[in-house]
Structure formats: structure tokens, C-alpha cells
Amino acid sequence: MSYTLVLSPPISINFRLSLALRIFWTFVSILIISLLIFYVFQINTLTGENYLLTHREKKLAEIKKEAEILKIDFAKANSLVNIENYFQNRGFEKASEVKYIRILETSVAELSQ
């Protein structure tokens, strides 16, 4: 007959396995929770940037419309009819006859000292 002596280890194998699984699942849980928190912050940031982008696109469209209106107003203000009215209101008179000064070719201008 063969006799076998079996000693139980100080920490059982089941307890070691159980401890390892607890550590693993704790780590996985912490990782999942941290990733979810990171995801929430990313979505919040993305939503805020999307809102700002939409707001700025609307503002850009308004500014483009204003620029078109200003171009049209500028063209109207610089038309010849408005310029004539401006000169008449300021007291300018239309020249009836234009006289030019004739300089003879033989005359020379001289600087006196």
C-alpha cells in the first residue's frame, strides 16, 4: 500500500484565483467607467463646437448679405445723377466756356534771383 501525504497550501488555489479575478474585474470596471466619462466630455465638447460653427455660419451669411447691400448702395451713391445733384447743391456752376492759356514756343521762363 502506498501512503501519500498531502499538505494544504497556506493560501488556497481557489482564493488566489478569486483574488486575481477580483483585481481583473475591478480594473476593467474602472477602465469602462473612465472611458464613459471621457466619452461624455468628448460629446459635450463636440456639441459645443458644432453649435459655435452653426452660429458663425449664420453670422457669416448675414455679413455677406450686408456686404451685397453696401455694394449696391455704394454704386447708387456714386452714380452720375447723384454726383450732379451733389455739385448743384454745393453751389458749383457748369462751365459754359473753357479758355486755355497759350504759351508761345519762343517764350522762356526765367528764374529771377
Residue with cell 447691400: 69
> CB under 8 Å to 87, separation ≥6 — which residues?
none
The pLDDT, as a whole number, for residue 39 is: 97
The Cα 38–Cα 32 span in angstroms is: 10
Cα four-point dihedral sign 85, 89, 90, 95: positive
10-residue averages of pLDDT along the chain (113 residues): 64 68 93 98 96 96 94 79 77 81 70 63
For residue 112, the Cα-to-chain-centroid distance in whole angstroms is 67
Domain boundaries defined on the chain = 15-89
